[in-house]
Structure 1
């Protein structure tokens, strides 16, 4: 018998059969969330308060930190409700809202990475025009466009979900809601959601990946024309952090999509592992990578936490 989604609840899981260890498992997850939130808040604070960082590259980095938190924070409540045995139930309407924010910010992060690739292209290939091309007004427009470009295509999918009924298992593959997981549980014709969802992925992730690739083709072409070996290394070093950020977003993202579409009978552990790698690794690693690899961010963080020592060193 079909159940109306208006009163339907879904049951979230972590790793079935390991419930007795959930309290212990919650400890590393608390640590990862803490590191991710503190790291990204630190980046945002340093960029906002240090006038030396009021440049296009660091504005885009601030956008990346915001989208990182936007990806991970919507999952915190449901994850820890499961791990701390508070409740496994998620109201369908709440599930749809959570799903919307997760997918919106994951697409937005992809768009921001494309914008950062274009930033590196302008900085390396057109350095004299860098400040005149990437003005604060243009950067603000890019940020707003990235968010709207990610959110608006998801609206038809969310509306379509509200008309679904559920007559199969109501147990999600993990502790939060993803579109691929919900349509797996529906007892309705999900062809539109499957095809349209694939089109959205191609039109956003596909175009972003292509844009990043093309940007780096031009960057490499320009770098190889630099006469000195040191100059080439210096130019490429400015791209190292961005390349790492691209890899730690797209590799887990592609892996999770493959698991949901082509490994439907895999171990529940694989679903849980890939899902949390996808949402936790970028927010945790991006601030660390940019803090280590970007000299200005590194100095800004040191100045934030050790202002007296930095001032003494300068004197």
Structure 2
């Protein structure tokens, strides 16, 4: 405790809390977290390897899936360097520079995940509503431009909040409530006027948490309208099944994201453990669950994984 107290007085460091009240159990808590990180890294790496080694996976759908896997991998590797050392070795100190870097990548990859899912909804819309023009609309050049637009959008969204926060003075206590540097957590330690930061954060919530899901809902409304026009139930179910993986991935991201945003804004008096649990679900669920969803629900991915790991036996 004295080490934490001394570090808290250091103006050049933040202190990560981890799981308040469960410090003695950190080594046991590290076991499921270690499993989650292994599943995420292995799952997303496998998806990327399968897509980029199989020539048949050159369709736009798989290129967007590789973007999603890259984003999930980036999100995992952003939180890993602070979470596991804290749980294993009780390393709580993080420098201002490292904390702001983690802040940038953490929120950047989080927003990128939302943007990729929005792009994937457009892919599903074109595939089902305009199947004859699918190859001509989603060309490699268009997909590259979409990928570049996603990166630019996320960088331009996060950078202003980074600079707005970095210019403000922090209070005497630099104790953060999580195992990583979240904007919602860091803003509470500021001594100065944060009204502009709060308004910008609210605008980002509207841009990401509201606008992206709204556009996804609109795209699926059009998809559903097109599916209802299909003659047979078998074809309707096949079309819906092609969207199921994406719908599950959308729910896995946005349900915890909305929960985290609402908790920080409207449930500030809730137990710190509630904030910690929701934040960890928000950051860990998509990278861990998405590879499982696409491996289970996408026949081509399952076959690609089987071929990747058992091709020597098959040959």
SS for the counterpart of 2:18 is: coil
Question: Offset at 1:115?
Answer: 0.6
Q: Look up the match of 1:111.
A: 115
Out of 73, 76, 81, which is 1:72 matched to? 76
Out of 124, 128, 142, which is 1:138 matched to? 142
2:156 aligned with 1:147: no
CA distance in 2, matches of 1:80, 1:61: 28
2:57 aligned with 1:57: no
- The answer as to whether partners of 1:10 and 1:90 remain within 8 angstroms in 2 is yes
Q: Look up the match of 1:101.
A: 105
Out of 23, 27, 45, which is 2:27 matched to? 23
Q: Look up the match of 2:92.
A: 88
Q: Look up the match of 1:213.
A: 217
Q: 1:6 to 1:144 in 2, by over 3 A?
A: farther
TM-score under structure 2 length normalisation: 0.94
Q: 1:309 to 1:224 in 2, by over 3 A?
A: farther
CA distance in 2, matches of 1:195, 1:112: 25
Q: Look up the match of 1:198.
A: 202
Q: Look up the match of 2:182.
A: 178
Q: Look up the match of 1:264.
A: 268
Question: Offset at 1:168?
Answer: 4.7
- The answer as to whether partners of 2:75 and 2:283 remain within 8 angstroms in 1 is yes
- The answer as to whether partners of 1:15 and 1:269 remain within 8 angstroms in 2 is yes
Aligned length: 307
Kindly report which structure 2 residues correspond to 1:290-309, keeping only aligned pairs within 5 A, or say none.
290-308=294-312
SS for the counterpart of 2:94 is: strand
CA distance in 1, matches of 2:138, 2:281: 33
Deviations 1:250-285 (A, max 9, x none): 000111111111111211211111111011110111
2:228 aligned with 1:229: no
Deviations 1:268-304 (A, max 9, x none): 2111111110111101110000011011111101111
Kindly report which structure 2 residues correspond to 1:239-250, keeping only aligned pairs within 5 A, or say none.
239-250=243-254
CA distance in 2, matches of 1:137, 1:307: 32
Deviating above 6 A after TM superposition, structure 1's stretches of 4 or more consecutive aligned residues are none
Q: 1:22 to 1:70 in 2, by over 3 A?
A: same
